[in-house]
Amino acid sequence: MMGLAEQTCVPCRGGVPPLESDKIAELLPQLTGWQAVDNHHLRKEYRFKNFVKALDFVNRVGALAEEQKHHPDVRLSYGEVVLEILTHKIDGLTESDFIFAAKCDALPRDEGARL
């Protein structure tokens, strides 16, 4: 079975229900350091040595988002990036959100990054 990071995000056409809490509980342990906030969205904080390293990571996430056609909410501050991921079209979580989170964790980071 392929890991989440090796899978491809599938665009949501809408009209599908968000994942149920049991499916979220099954997928969440496959991610490191992510939280399922109110079973509505995924959230993770990444820490970096400085603003430039954090910005570099945001740019990598942006390129990944365009490639996967799945776009997170991003907050950038000095030495910190916060990602929140959900499928906006259904205002909840789909399996693609977990795939995208795993792909973000697989992005190269400078040695100063902490998960």
What does the domain layout of the chain look like in residue ranges? 33-115
Of 81, 87, 89, the residue nearest 9 (C-alpha)? 87
Residue with tokens 């994942």: 19
Helix 95-106 to helix 51-68 angle (10° resolution) is 140
Question: Does 109 have pLDDT greater than 80?
Answer: no
Per-residue confidence band for 108, with pLDDT thresholds at 50, 70 and 90: confident
Tell me: the pLDDT tens digits for 31-84?
999 999 999 999 999 999 999 999 999 999 999 999 999 999 999 999 999 999
Per-residue confidence band for 114, with pLDDT thresholds at 50, 70 and 90: low
Beta bridge partners of 76: 81
Q: Are residues 41 and 100 in contact, defined by beta-carbon separation less than 8 angstroms?
A: no
Beta bridge partners of 92: 87
- The reply to whether CATH 3.30.1360.20 applies to domain 33-115 is yes
